[in-house]
Structure 1
Amino acid sequence: MTYLHDDARLIRSHLSSQARPPEDSDALFLLYAVLMRAKGEHVTEVDVHDAWAAWMATRNLGHPALVPFESLDTSAQSQDLPYVQAIHSAARDRRATRNP
């Protein structure tokens, strides 16, 4: 395992029970780990959607949500929020453990 796998696990541990990650989403959470390392608490719903879209493009090019975040309806946009919150929380947790 790598440091990115560790960060992906940390993000998963902060994910609310209401979120339903897609099946076989380990690679997606690696992308979320990169977002966390690059942007920390500045990650946005647009960032999360873009990471998801990159992941989904390798799985199903015909998925109807493979459009820019702004083109999604409000319901679809809201599905990214739990992942943003988990990334923010994980970033705070990681920062706290590095700077006690």
Structure 2
Amino acid sequence: MSSHLDPIAELIRDCLPTEARPPAGSDDLFRIYAVLLQAKGEAVTDEDVHNAWTAWTQTTDDTHRALVPFDELDAPTRALDAPYTRAIRTAARKLHRSTAR
């Protein structure tokens, strides 16, 4: 069964650059990203995205090395969140434009 979050989640996924590789079985993660979009819109940060990913990953792999606060990650690991942040911001702009008409 789908909810009102699913189209937003799909839009975020569609806004990802081609080099981004979402994890397998990440529908629930993208629903969390949809909630971030609704709560923060274009103000979403890489730290927000990391925290959402952490909540999702903890349910599937509670030993993952990146399950730490964002500021404890090394720069290459932090950079992995950036494409998702940009996708959420892009999706927020697209949603805003479509509802402003």
Q: Which amino acid aligns with 1:98?
A: T
How far residue 19 of structure 1 moved from its aligned partner, in angstroms, is 0.5
What residue ranges of structure 2 are gaps of 5+ in the alignment?
none
* Runs (4+) off by over 6 Å: none
The answer for the alignment partner of 1:36 in structure 2 is 37
Q: How many residues align?
A: 100
Q: Which amino acid aligns with 1:34?
A: V
The answer for the alignment partner of 2:21 in structure 1 is 20
RMSD: 0.5
Percent identical residues = 48
What residue ranges of structure 1 are gaps of 5+ in the alignment?
none
CA distance in 1, matches of 2:21, 2:72: 22
The answer for the alignment partner of 1:45 in structure 2 is 46
CA distance in 2, matches of 1:19, 1:5: 19
TM-score (structure 2 length as normaliser): 0.98
How far residue 27 of structure 1 moved from its aligned partner, in angstroms, is 0.3
How far residue 3 of structure 1 moved from its aligned partner, in angstroms, is 1.2
Q: Which amino acid aligns with 1:66?
A: L
CA distance in 2, matches of 1:27, 1:57: 12
The answer for the alignment partner of 1:95 in structure 2 is 96
CA distance in 1, matches of 2:56, 2:48: 12
How far residue 2 of structure 1 moved from its aligned partner, in angstroms, is 1.5
TM-score (structure 1 length as normaliser): 0.98
CA distance in 2, matches of 1:39, 1:10: 16
